[in-house]
Structure 1
C-alpha cells in the first residue's frame, strides 16, 4: 500500500526531445503553419466563455491540432479561490477515461513489437489472472480494448483518493477479480468496462517488464515531449492543476487522484492531449504502426450484439468510444472520439485521421458531453475556415410526430424495463401513447411518446425516437435515439439500448420475507481508505423493492434470501457495472458485500455518546466506525482530536456530507439531527471526541 512517486527529469526529457524530434515538431517545420484560423479562434473563445458563464463550468481549456502544430488554444473561467494562480495553456486537468486510449495504444505498441497478439488469451501473458468463472480463459487483449471481455465493470476500491496516490487499487486488482464471475460470454457484446482497461494496464506491465507509467513515458510521453502529462503514480504539484469546486460545498476542493491509471488516472493539458491525438492522425511516425492505428479505428462494436445506428457518440473501436462520431459522417469525414469524467474533471478528445486534425477540451466542472460538443464545433469551424466543408451543421429533429394506431404487438411491449442503475415502468395505450416513468420513484411523472406509421414512438418536441427491438438473444430492448442540443454550443446524437425488459422472477415466500425486512434500508461503506473521496460523496446503497415487480432489488434479480445479481445484457453504456449483492451476518449485525466493497446495515450502527468526553477507536479489522446522531447529541458541537493518518465525516439526515476532514479544515462541527458520523483510520487509531 505504499505510495510510489516518479519524478521525471526535465533535462532527460529535453535531451530525448532533441535526439528524437516529435512528429508534431517535424511536421510543423515542414508545413510552416500557414492557416491563421482567426474565425475559429473567435468562435472558440465565445464557446468557452459560454460554458463558464451559462453551463456551470468552473474552467475550460481547449486546443486544436492541425497540420502538425497546435493551431488554436485557449482557456476561460476561474482557477484558485484566492485568484493568485492564473489559468494558462500549462494548467493540468484530469482526463478521466480518455486514459483508455493511452492504455489501448500501449497494448498496440506491444503488438507492433511482436510481444503480444490481440487474439491470444490474456492468461497466456498474465498467468496470475484468474476468476471463479472458467470463461475468463477466453478473454483476449482485443476484448479488453473493445469492452467485450464480460468483466463486471468497475472494481475501484480505494482508487479515488484525495491527495493520495496509494497503489492499493492496482496491487489488489487481480485478487479482487479472482473472487468474481463474468456477466457475459467473452466477445458476446461490448459494454463499457473500466476493469478491462485496468487489466490491460497489468497486461502491459507483465509483458513489458516495466510499470505502466514507465512504459507509456518511454513509448509516448518522452518522444512527443509531453512534459505536462502525468499519471497518478507521479508527483503532481496541486498548484499546477486546475482548481476543483463542488456544488455541495463552498470553497476549493483538494485534488482527487484516480489511481486506476489505465482506465482513468492520467493528467494532461489540452495542447498535450491534442498532440497525443496526433498519433492517430498521421503524426508520430514510428511510435505506432499504421496497422495499429487502423486497427484501433475499426468497427469493433459490430463483433457482437449492438443497436442499429449511424454516426453516434458511442460505437466502440479499440480504446475509442466512437469510430463514427456525429455529425462528421454527414460530411463523409471519419471521426474518432473518447470522453472522460471523474468526480470534477471532464475531458474529450476527437481525432479526424484523414484530415490530420485533433481537438481536445478539458474542464473543471461540467460534463464530457459539453466538451464533446465544443470540441466538435472547434473542428467544424476549422474545417470550414480551411475550405474542407462549406457550411456548419443545422440542428436536426425527428419532426413533430403524426399519430398512428399501434398494432397489438406494440401493446405487448408494455411492462418493466431495467438497466444497471434504474427501472422503467412502460405503459402503452390503444391510441398509441407510450408513457415511460421511473418505477423506483412512482408518482414522479412520465415522459410521453407518440406511435407513428414508421413503427417508432417520437416525443412531441421531435428530439427523441423510441422503439422496441427483439434481439437475437431472445431479449427485448428499449431502443432510443436522441438529439442532444446545447444552446449556443451545438448538437450531438446518442443512439443506444437504454433498458431491457425484465422477465418474471418467482421467489419463495421465505426469500421474499427476508428481502422485505431490508426494503428501504441504507447500508454504509466500511472499507475505503481515510483519504477516499467516497466518504465525501457518501457512498451508501439502499435495497429498493417494487410492488409491481416482485423478485427484484431495483434491476437486480433476487437469487436467494441473501443474494441478488444483474441478469441484464445491454451493450453500450447501460449494461455496465454489474454489482452482485451478498448479505451475511456477524455478531447479530448484517453486512453487505458488493464486489470488493463492504457495507454495514443502518440498524447495526450505534449512537454516538452524548456526553462531553468520549473516544472512538478503529478496531483490528480496520473498518470505518459509523455512529448515529441521537437526539441527546443533535445541535451540540463536536471537536475531534485525531492522528494525521485518519479522517472523519459528518452527514445530515438526508445523507449529505456537511463536513469531511480531508476536504474541510478541522473545526468544531454542529451535529445535525438524525445524521451520521464516520471515523476512518488504521487499526488502533483513536479519535478523542468532545461535545459541547
Structure 2
C-alpha cells in the first residue's frame, strides 16, 4: 500500500469508467427517474441542491445534479462539486480500524485502553469498551461531545483535541455492549485510535489507504484545506445570501467532503470490486447484524439495524426482494448524505445535498437502485407501498391501563394516556401546542393509527424497563417509503428528591441559560443556542428525561437502543463569582441573570474576558428599531436574534457591522480572549 506501484495497481476500473452521460442506453429509465426525483427534492422538498450517482459492476452508469449552487448563478453544479457527507464519513473511520485489524495491529475485542492508554472516565466500566463497541454504537458512551465541532471555514481541531479530557469527567449510560444506541463520540474516539496505532494523522491515513488508491480525487477533510469555491452552496432560511462553507472538525464522526461519484467508488470496497484494501473477512464482519447482540425490538421492516459503521445491514425495502442492502446516512447542520450498497449485486447509489435531509436522500438512492435492478431484469417490478391495513378496533383489556404514564426519550418526555374505550394518546410534554398522536386498540394487541401506517405496543424488556414500541411505514409522496421499528421512549419511574434538591430546582424552573464557549465561527449560532429549564407537566423529580440527582446536577438514565436514547447528557451546575453556569457534554451555558440589557453609548464596548466566554445582552425597548454599529475585532463576531430566536444578523456570515435591533431580541459577542467590540447606536 505504501508503494506508488501498488497504488497504481489498486486503481479500480470505476475511477476511469464512463459517467452517466456516456454510459449508453442501458439505464435510460433509471437516469430519467433519478433526474425527476432529484428535481422533486429541489423544487418541492426544500433541498437547495442535490447530487447523485449509481455504480454497477465498477462502472458509474448514472450521475447527475439538480438545484442551485452559488448565489450569482456563475458556478454550475457538476459531478465534481463537493458536499459534506456528515456521518456517512463514519464508514471511512470504520474501514480504517478494519484496515488496522487486517494488519494485526488492532483486535476488535480487546479494550480500547490498550491502544489509547490516556483514555479514562469517571466510570470504571470504560475499561471494558472495545473497538467493536465503538463501531457498533454499543460502547455506553453518552453520545456527542461536539462543542466547537461545526465551524464556518475554520478547521480548528478543538473538538477532536479535547475529547479525551472531556470524557474524563463523564460516566457511561449503560454497560458496554448492553445495546446499540447511536453515538458520535465513539467514532471520534475511533479516529484517535487510528492515529495512536498508525502513528499517522487521520486525514493522511485515509488519503493514503483509501481515497488515493480508489481514485477519489474529490474527497477531502477540513485539514486538507479544500477550496471553498468547489463546495456546494449553503443557505439558511433566515439569512440572506450564501453561507460560508461548513467545517466539521470531528472528522471520524462526520468531517469528510466528497462527491456522489467518489462515494460510489468507495463503495467498491464493500462489493468486492477492488482488492488489496480490506480483506473479505473485514468486509463481511462490517455487515453482520451487530445490533442483535444487545437489547433490541423484535425483528420488523426497518431502516435502522447497526453493523460496524453501517446504520442498516438489512435496509427496507430490499429485504422484500430477497436482496441484502447496507446503508449509511449523514446529516450536519447544513449538508446531508446517503450511501446505499447492494454487496451481492456489486451496485451502490450515493445522494448528497445542501439542505434537505439524509432520509430524503436515501429514498432517492433506494429508487435509483430499484429502477436499475428492474432494468437489468433482477426484479420484475417495484413492489407497492406497505401498511398495516385498516385498523379493526377491539375491546382493550383493563390491565392495559397500567401502561399509562410518563415516558422519556432524549431531551423530552411523553405522556401516554389510555381511555376506557381503547384510545391511546401520545403527547410531547415540552411541546404543549403540538397535537397529540391518536391510536386505537386492535385485536392483535397493538394500537394502530387510523390510516394503518403505524403500530404501537408496550413492551417490558428483560432489563425490567418498559418501552413504547413503534413500527411505522412513512410514505414521502413522489419519493417512496421508509420503514422504522424502534423503542420510542422508556417509562419513567417515580423519583423522590430531598427537599434541598427540590428547592434548588424550583428556583431554576423557567430559567434560560445561554451558551458561552462556542467560537465566533461556530455554526451553532445559526439557531439560538439557549438551554431552557421547564419542569412544568413532567414527572416530579425529573427535567424531561433527566433525573434530578442533586441540587446542582441532573442526568438521564434512560436505556433505549437505536436513536431515541442517543445524546443523553449529565448536567452540572456551579457558581463563579455569583453567576451560575451549567456544563453538559463539553458545552457551557450561563444563567439569564448574567444577560444584561445592551447599552451602546458614545464610548461603550463589549470586551471578551480572559476565560474567553461569549457575552450576551438583551435588546431593551428603547434600543429596538435603532441601528447598532459594531467595530469588529480581528477574531470576533456578533449575532443578533429576534424575539422568536431567529438569526437576523451573523457577522461571520455576512461581514456586516450594522444591524437594526429587533424588539425583544438578544445579541451575543464572541471572540478570542481580550477581543473588544466598540458599539454605537443611532
Q: TM-score range by the shorter chain?
A: over 0.9
- Cα distance 1:83–1:51, how it changes in 2: closer, same or farther (>3 A)? same
Question: For 1:209-246, what per-residue CA distance to the aligned partner results, in whole angstroms no more than 9, with x for missing partners?
Answer: 10011111111111111100001211111110110111
- Give the Cα–Cα distance (whole angstroms) in 2 for the partners of residues 100 and 122 of structure 1: 18
**Cα shift at 1:25:** 5.1
Match of 2:116?
126
Pair 1:488 & 2:478 matched:
yes
Query: Distance in 2 between the 1:214 and 1:673 partners?
Result: 50
Residue 3 of structure 1 corresponds to: none
Residue correspondence of structure 1 range 444-523 to structure 2 within 5 A: 444-523=434-513
Q: CA separation of 1:643/1:26 partners in 2, compared to 1, >3 Å: closer, same or farther?
A: closer
**Which one of 60, 63, 68 corresponds to residue 73 of structure 1?**
63
CA displacement, residues 378-416 of structure 1 (integer Å, 9 cap, x when unaligned): 000000000000010211111111100111221110111
Shift of 1:19: 4.9
Judged with a 3 Å threshold, the aligned counterparts in structure 2 of structure 1 residues 28 and 256 are, in CA distance, closer, same or farther, namely closer
2:595 aligned residue: 605
Aligned length: 679
Give 3-state SS (helix, strand or coil) of 1:123's partner: helix
TM-score normalised by length of structure 1: 0.96
Aligned with 2:576 (options 579, 586, 596): 586
Against the structure 1 CA distance between its residues 434 and 523, is the aligned structure 2 distance closer, same or farther, given a 3 Å change threshold?
A: same
CA distance in 2, matches of 1:674, 1:25: 55
Partner Cα separation in structure 2 for residue 279 and residue 653 of structure 1: 50
Give 1:573's match in structure 2, choosing from 563, 572, 577: 563
Instruction: Report the CA distance between 1:542 and its aligned residue.
Output: 0.7
Counterpart in 2 of 1:683?
673
Gaps of 5+ in 1: 1-11
Can you list the C-alpha shifts for 1:185-222, whole angstroms capped at 9, x where unaligned? 10000000000000000000000110011111111111
Give runs of aligned pairs for residues 352-391 of structure 1, distance below 5 A.
Answer: 352-391=342-381
Looking at structure 1, the residues matched to 64 and 257 of structure 2 have their Cα atoms a distance apart, in angstroms, of 18
Aligned to 1:619: 609
Deviation at residue 534 of structure 1 after TM alignment: 1.1
Say if 1:362 and 1:227 are closer, same or farther in 2 by CA, change over 3 A: same
For each residue in 1:107-156, what CA deviation from the matched residue of structure 2 results, as whole angstroms up to 9, or x when unmatched?
00000011111000000111011111111110000000000000010011
Superposed, 1:15-164 pairs within 5 Å as 18-22=8-12, 24=14, 36-164=26-154
Q: Which residue of 2 aligns with 1:8?
A: none
2:653 counterpart SS class = coil
What does residue range 315-464 of structure 1 map to in structure 2 within 5 Å? 315-442=305-432, 444-464=434-454
CA displacement at 1:429 relative to structure 2: 1.1
- Under a length normalisation based on structure 2, what TM-score does the superposition of the two structures give? 0.97
Change (3 A) 1:403 1:286: same
| Compared CA separation, residues 34 and 636, structure 1 to 2 (3 A) | closer
Instruction: Please list every run of 5 or more consecutive structure 2 residues that lacks an aligned counterpart in the other structure.
Output: none
Q: Sort the Cα spacing of 1:27 and 1:303 in 2 relative to 1 into closer, same or farther, 3 A.
A: farther
In structure 1, the residue matched to 2:202 is 212
> What value does the CA root-mean-square deviation take over the aligned residues?
1.8
Distance change (3 Å), C-alpha of 1:515 and 1:656: same
- Secondary structure of 1:348's counterpart equals strand
Question: Retained in 2: the 8 A contact 1:16–1:222?
Answer: no
Q: 1 CA distance for matches of 2:434 and 2:58?
A: 52
Tell me the CA shift for residue 308 of structure 1: 1.2
Task: Tell me the alpha carbon deviations over residues 77-120 of structure 1, each in whole angstroms, 9 at most, x when there is no partner.
Answer: 11100000000100101100001111100000000011111000
Deviates more, 1:474-483 or 1:656-665: 656-665
Q: 8 Å contact 1:613–1:691 — kept in the other structure?
A: no
SS at match of 2:267: helix
